[in-house]
Amino acid sequence: MLRAKRSVVANLGLAIALCFESLLIVPALGAAALAGAAAETDSRSLEQNSIKRYMFTCGTVAEIKTAMEKRELSLTQEIPSPRPGKTAIFEGSYKNGLKNPYVVENIGGKYHVYIELRRPQFPVPPLPYFEQEVVFDNDDAGISFVGTLSYPSKGGPFGAAVLIHGSGAHTRDEMVSLHKIFLVLADHLTRQGIAVLRYDKRGVGLSGGKPDPQSTSDDYASDVRAAVCFLKIQPNIDPSKIGLIGHSEGGFIAPMVAADSADVAFIVLLAGTGLPGMDIQMLQENAMGKARGSNEKAVIANDKLNKVVFPIIIATKDNGEALRRIRAAEKEVLTAEERKLLGFPDQGFPDEVYDPLLSPWFRRFLELDPRAYLEKVKCPVLALNGEKDLQVLPDPNLAEIEKALRKGGNQNVTVNKLQGINHMFQTAPTGLGIEYRNIEETFAPAALEIISTWIRKVVGTAS
């Protein structure tokens, strides 16, 4: 995904909160307990595919209710009081209508409360296809990558897809907000007869190299080329039917690779971009600020500052000089009132707050224009963006993607805005990132079907 930033310098809180979520993956307590009154059960009577996240501990049921209200959670069931050593669940909902089950465990006379985050689309063994852990090299970078190759148990050679991550540090499953997006996508595609290679991103998991944000989109494009070369020599893969599926940042890395490679048979852009990175970032911050209900004057002030600061970041390669110019711009562009609205402390921010803005990844992202690559792509293209995507706004980006492809003479282009879908391809109430974790759906089934049907048609395996 393209990392969301609220303002040029005051955006680190969300990232820190996401990195330090405390979680424990365990089986679920079962939907039956939510029918009618909350049921008491032995905590060992469990199902699969949920994540149990600790929230707080209380001494009484009344204290639990108060703690829930402080989190702006309304109760749709009475809070149970399980006996010592027992567990019960109840249901609560957020202001946006999202409902989740909550677990209460009575251990030693204390009530430990968890939210149960169900993940019904996570595949459960035994699987009806083969998975093989693989290692391949990017010789140009001197880096080895570890991943998973999945392919149908019968038939072949198969058409195949390389999955390309969004921004940030991701393993092969692209876990975001406790959703394994690429795991679910790979499972669906493989069940539909399409082989899939997904791998730990550079510097993450078991793969070598420098992690984000020290590596750039150009580095990641080089890694994708290595993945395609690896797939071409696999005996159960048809080398003429290898394509790329990129999510968010991966949605402009895919055209970077396909623009100069005859080995790519198709590309699928999921929340891909058609505008330069600087435009994407400003549109994103404006949209998310408004969706959060931020002060309109603050949104305008942030946009005004970005219009000055982003060109400085692009043009000034020395970090020390860039920082000096950014600090000067903050004082010149913003009034005292606007600085206060944006949360600037009187003494200014410490230097390290600016590190993400001056990182190799962000510098390159701001200046990248995907249209230069899209115009050179000749293979079939499917571009899907969610109508509720606040990180990559669908209308301007889909329009520029299609325009650039057709300008280059590509007539095999399918563009689709999916109603009710957010940046992560979940069915969502508003599209705000705070919803991602609490939505049970990892990947909208209708979107999965569109992707697999289109690929099977392109590679000639449609039934």
Tell the burial category of 142 from Cβ atoms under 10 Å away from its Cβ (0-12, 13-18, 19+): exposed
Confidence of residue 41 (pLDDT cuts 50, 70, 90): low
Q: For 103, what's the count of Cα atoms within 13 Å in the CB-facing half-sphere?
A: 28
DSSP characters for 95-156? Answer: TT--EEEEEEEEETTEEEEEEEEE-TTS--SSPSEEEEEEEEEETTTTEEEEEEEEEESSS-
Cα(149)–Cα(197) distance, integer angstroms: 5
H or E element that contains 219? helix 217-232
Q: Give the CATH number of domain 129-276+368-459.
A: 3.40.50.1820
Residue 69: what pLDDT? 93
Per the CB < 8 A criterion, the answer to whether 429 and 97 are in contact is: yes
| pLDDT classification of 245: cutoffs 50, 70, 90 | very high
pLDDT-based confidence at 431, cuts 50/70/90?
A: very high
Q: Specify the pLDDT at position 308.
A: 97
Q: pLDDT above 70 covers what percent of the chain?
A: 89
* pLDDT reported for residue 44: 45
DSSP assignment of 160-204, as one string? EEEEE--SS---TT-EETTEEHHHHHHHHHHHTT-EEEEEPPTTS
What are phi and psi for residue 391, nearest 5 degrees?
Answer: -95, -40
Rounded average pLDDT over 341-360: 92
Asked whether 377 and 255 are in contact (CB, 8 A), the reply is yes
Report pLDDT for 348: 85
> Once rounded to an integer, what is the mean pLDDT over residues 443-451?
98
Alpha helices in 233-318 (DSSP H): 250-258, 277-291, 296-315
Least confident of 12-16, 130-134, 411-415: 12-16
**Torsion sign, CA atoms 177, 183, 185, 191:** negative
Per-domain residue ranges of the chain: 13-118, 129-276+368-459, 278-366
pLDDT band with cut points at 50, 70 and 90 for residue 346 = confident
369-389: per-residue pLDDT in tens? 999 999 999 999 999 999 999
Q: State the pLDDT at residue 347.
A: 85
> End-to-end alpha-carbon separation of the chain, Å?
33
Higher pLDDT, 453 or 11: 453
Instruction: Please give the pLDDT value at position 453.
Output: 98
Provide the pLDDT for residue 421. 98
For tokens 């303002």, the residue is 7
pLDDT value of position 8: 45
- Asked whether the predicted pLDDT for residue 14 surpasses 70, the reply is no
d(CA 179, CA 424): 9
pLDDT band at residue 243, thresholds of 50, 70 and 90?
Answer: very high
Q: What is the average pLDDT score of the chain?
A: 90
Q: What is the pTM of this model?
A: 0.90
Is 114's pLDDT higher than 80? yes
Mean pLDDT within 420-433: 96
Q: Which comes out higher in pLDDT, residue 9 or 245? A: 245
Q: Which residues are CB-contacts of 94 (< 8 A; sequence separation ≥ 6)?
A: 72, 73, 74, 438
The answer, yes or no, to whether residue 444 has pLDDT greater than 50, is: yes
Tracing tokens 């079907």 back to the chain, one arrives at: 449
What is residue 77's predicted lDDT score, i.e. its pLDDT? 85
Q: Is the pLDDT of residue 126 over 60?
A: yes
